[in-house]
Structure 1
């Protein structure tokens, strides 16, 4: 790209005198025939030595601009005065029409801020660069501060006026110090050697300065990364005690601190001499990424086009910046552009299959499954990606929690199999184990799985802990749903155990079929052991189907035809609860149905909404903590364990995809 601007002169020569500033000017004129305005930026290899005004600006069509470069007053002559290697670069970029019109309506400060953002963007890579060299000379027109003459000044030494010694002690020459002169060649060699040593020292100091500037830039970049990551993490942090207003205030303060750290890193990088064009692109990409992530570290910032612009420019300059890809994908996701987010995460995986991107894409596919038709395919891929993220990083609680959530979604929307719940339970349990701190969201999801696996006691405890950590998650409502379901089942058993219930039981179990000769006799419910009961068959009647409690998130999951909760009785009129899994597509069982169950699994349900209150405290206050306690049978594989009214249960579920093989 050629520029219509020509900067003059091509070299700046500063006259140096002690205690006196020196100024030079760079001049240009916009001679563009297409009525285009240009923006410029002045950079130098030695920013601490020179002052440039202005260092950014606009050259309007047919207008002149003068840039003043000042070398400040110095108390000593610079060591590199005779071999000055300082350089200036004037970067020039044509302005788009819309940007030029926008700048015309702005104040000087607003223009400067807008131009600073422009030069920090990816458009800066197209700038035309003019290089200006520098030199220094002694300024003989300035004598400095005069020195008062002594009363009897010593005359200057002159070889021609020095008298020759006669050997007499009383002659003036006898008191004149003898001066031993080196031969001319030796003196020249000595001076040349001193110049070489001096230049070597200058070179060492210059190298040390470059190394110090590079080290400072690296440190500033690390500090910026720390502050940016801390600000971004607040997006997923718990709601503080002060509520949403306090959260917003914290995020704003953290974002401002992060942006200030990024600006400090940018300033530090300006003082570093970049060796190659590739290095320059890499540095610029990293700074764009940090600014984009810092901008996105608030709810409104994540939705801003500014964050997307900086992050998009960063990955274009350096596609290896994986966190930039992830942040950009989250920005698209936040504003509802799910397909854009999907393509962004997939693009990141093309460069490196890393755990963080795999986890993000797994989560996104679960969100997409709520909007697209291919639910089974999307959720199967979500599980596969979550497994891969765990394999890559087993120490990440987020990866384990993502795997648990993937199995839970697959269970609810596709499989309805208890196996997925067990896998989700193990994943959430591992997430809690490796987490650096307790995560309320993980606890809520884990409690949901436990409630669906008929572990209400532990589920109630986890919901309570999650509420204490983050009340905004609605854990108390979920806990209330679990307790309502458990207490309703317990009440049904207690009611049927009464005198009125026993009459109904007798009539129901009376027509239980008698085992055929030679067949394995059914085992009474009272003889079952806790846990697995191999080589065992029970024969029961459905007494009542326990109604589900509507409206709650936990029981809402139970409405997905994945489970049925019943109260059953055997020929001895022994009552138990029963949970059937994987019954998607089967009719809801009603009272009077006969069930033949092989190898039943027995658990004991013990739960109370006041689990954390000691019994002594309840007694002291005169309150009696309600407790639900009953036995429950679990049938997790109805196609192999269950016969209904003598018929074989045929599953309505599809064949499990190969990608979900255990």
Structure 2
């Protein structure tokens, strides 16, 4: 019997073609644009995939099932039926029935365990899903089981200790998946997710090396067309870009996620919040927080008095326009906080500063609660300030923004007082 007329080979080909159609649906028309025009067909993806599914099921039903098939043959046929039904984003009972039959007929069927694990994950039973993936790994080490186990582990645990332990296991499983195939973009994406979760869920000071590893993984994934067209990847990558102040790429990722999946509300909400946040910062700086001349004079007079204090006599203060992009290691900046910017999209305490020349710029302070941070009207000294320059487009308008990023609040002096380590 040749490959072309072997029903099991034909069944696998039918379902493989179905998954290829779904997974590559966006890639052929992907030209890297974030406009809606080349992506209009995405709106009909679910309809098209469902139509292909109906065709695939009809062809599977038409195959001649040999009564002399072995148990493993029947298992493989049920596996393909289960895979076909399992293509849906939601759990489908017919998928469970076929996959259960397949595993009962052939308990060592790795792909059957993986598919059943996917089914349980869609149903929300993470414990059962993990058991399926671990069962598959007992029979064969494979990237699909490993990366799915990584996803599930991040969602398990009741105590802080259990959650922390599972996060480390999640990273390890994702690394093992890449050992199976270092060129797999989805595995890089899963590893990036594991590092991202580990970074933001840290109960102590965030480890920047974890974020660096996350960025490396996401960049690997971003260069892979299949991963780049995953809306959840774009959403998570936008989070990293926002944290790193790569605002244009964050906006681009969110815009693309919105286009790819218009029904998922979170990317649109996050995009709107980030736009409002950035526009608010630029507006406050441009208008000097709408302060009146008399108020500005009082703030500047107070600032000048602070610079003459004995505690600052050995410091070299610069003005905003004197600062260069990057770390200004040989100078400090003293300013007044003229506005505190509150926005749900903010990852850092965000302020508008004004120097003695009435020039303004933004300040982002991380790892410090708003309660312990500066307030409007406070004097603030930033030691060895790290300056950033941003350029981004919003609604066909270009914005430029100059800012200072502070990751270590101990480099701040607020109202002539240093910050205690206990407040970090």
Q: Same fold (TM over 0.5)?
A: yes
**C-alpha spacing 1:510/1:249, structure 2 compared with 1 (3 Å):** same
Q: CA deviation at 1:391?
A: 4.0
For residues 88-131 of structure 1, give each alpha carbon's deviation from its aligned partner in whole angstroms, at most 9, with x where no partner exists: xxxxxxxxxxxxxxxxxxxxxxxxxxxxxxxxxxxxxxxxxxxx
Q: CA deviation at 1:232?
A: 7.0
Q: CA deviation at 1:485?
A: 0.6
Counterpart among 513, 521, 532 of residue 327 in structure 2: 532
User: Is 2:81 aligned against 1:291?
Assistant: yes
Counterpart among 78, 85, 92 of residue 303 in structure 1: 92
Q: Counterpart of 2:183?
A: 395
Q: CA deviation at 1:577?
A: 0.8
**C-alpha spacing 1:651/1:407, structure 2 compared with 1 (3 Å):** farther
Contact persistence 1:362–1:402 (CA under 8 A): yes
Q: CA deviation at 1:404?
A: 2.6
Q: CA deviation at 1:299?
A: 4.7
User: Is 2:318 aligned against 1:542?
Assistant: no
Query: Where in structure 2 are the equivalents of 1:122-521 lying within 5 Å?
Result: 211-212=1-2, 216-217=6-7, 219-227=9-17, 229-230=19-20, 233=23, 241=40, 246-263=44-61, 267=65, 270=67, 280-299=70-89, 302-304=91-93, 306-368=94-156, 374-414=162-202, 417=206, 419=208, 420-436=210-226, 438-441=228-231, 442-474=233-265, 475-496=267-288, 500=293, 502-513=296-307, 514=309, 516=311, 519-521=314-316
Contact persistence 2:4–2:10 (CA under 8 A): no
Of 502-511 and 598-607, deviating more is 502-511
Contact persistence 1:535–1:598 (CA under 8 A): no
For residues 166-217 of structure 1, give each alpha carbon's deviation from its aligned partner in whole angstroms, at most 9, with x where no partner exists: xxxxxxxxxxxxxxxxxxxxxxxxxxxxxxxxxxxxxxxxxxxxx4489734
Larger Rg: 1
Contact persistence 2:85–2:95 (CA under 8 A): yes
Q: Counterpart of 2:33?
A: none
Contact persistence 1:533–1:599 (CA under 8 A): yes
Taking structure 2 as the reference length, the TM-score comes to 0.79
Q: CA deviation at 1:359?
A: 1.9
Q: Secondary structure at the match of 2:306?
A: coil
Q: Counterpart of 1:19?
A: none
RMSD over aligned Cα, in angstroms? 3.8
Q: Counterpart of 1:605?
A: 390
- Unaligned runs of 5+ residues in structure 1 are 1-210, 273-279, 612-624, 654-662
Contact persistence 1:456–1:605 (CA under 8 A): yes
Q: CA deviation at 1:292?
A: 1.6
Q: CA deviation at 1:512?
A: 2.7
Q: Secondary structure at the match of 2:154?
A: helix
- Residues of 2 paired with 1:589 and 1:485: CA distance? 19
Contact persistence 1:227–1:257 (CA under 8 A): no
Determine which structure has greater relative contact order: mean sequence separation of CA pairs < 8 Å that are 6+ residues apart, divided by chain length: 2
Taking structure 1 as the reference length, the TM-score comes to 0.53
Contact persistence 2:221–2:228 (CA under 8 A): no
Q: CA deviation at 1:357?
A: 1.9
Q: CA deviation at 1:566?
A: 1.3
- Residues of 2 paired with 1:355 and 1:595: CA distance? 51
Query: Where in structure 2 are the equivalents of 1:112-131 lying within 5 Å?
Result: none
Query: Where in structure 2 are the equivalents of 1:2-13 lying within 5 Å?
Result: none
Q: Counterpart of 1:635?
A: 406
Q: Secondary structure at the match of 2:405?
A: strand
For residues 403-462 of structure 1, give each alpha carbon's deviation from its aligned partner in whole angstroms, at most 9, with x where no partner exists: 333333334433674835554443322212122584151333322322232222332233
- Residues of 2 paired with 1:266 and 1:600: CA distance? 74
Of 585-594 and 320-329, deviating more is 585-594
Q: Secondary structure at the match of 1:510?
A: helix
Contact persistence 1:230–1:254 (CA under 8 A): no
Q: CA deviation at 1:578?
A: 1.0
- Residues of 1 paired with 2:46 and 2:279: CA distance? 40
- Residues of 1 paired with 2:248 and 2:83: CA distance? 42
Q: CA deviation at 1:486?
A: 1.0
- Residues of 2 paired with 1:235 and 1:335: CA distance? 25
Q: Counterpart of 1:650?
A: 421
Larger helix proportion, structure 1 or 2?
2
Query: Where in structure 2 are the equivalents of 1:41-56 lying within 5 Å?
Result: none
Q: CA deviation at 1:227?
A: 3.8
Contact persistence 2:335–2:380 (CA under 8 A): yes
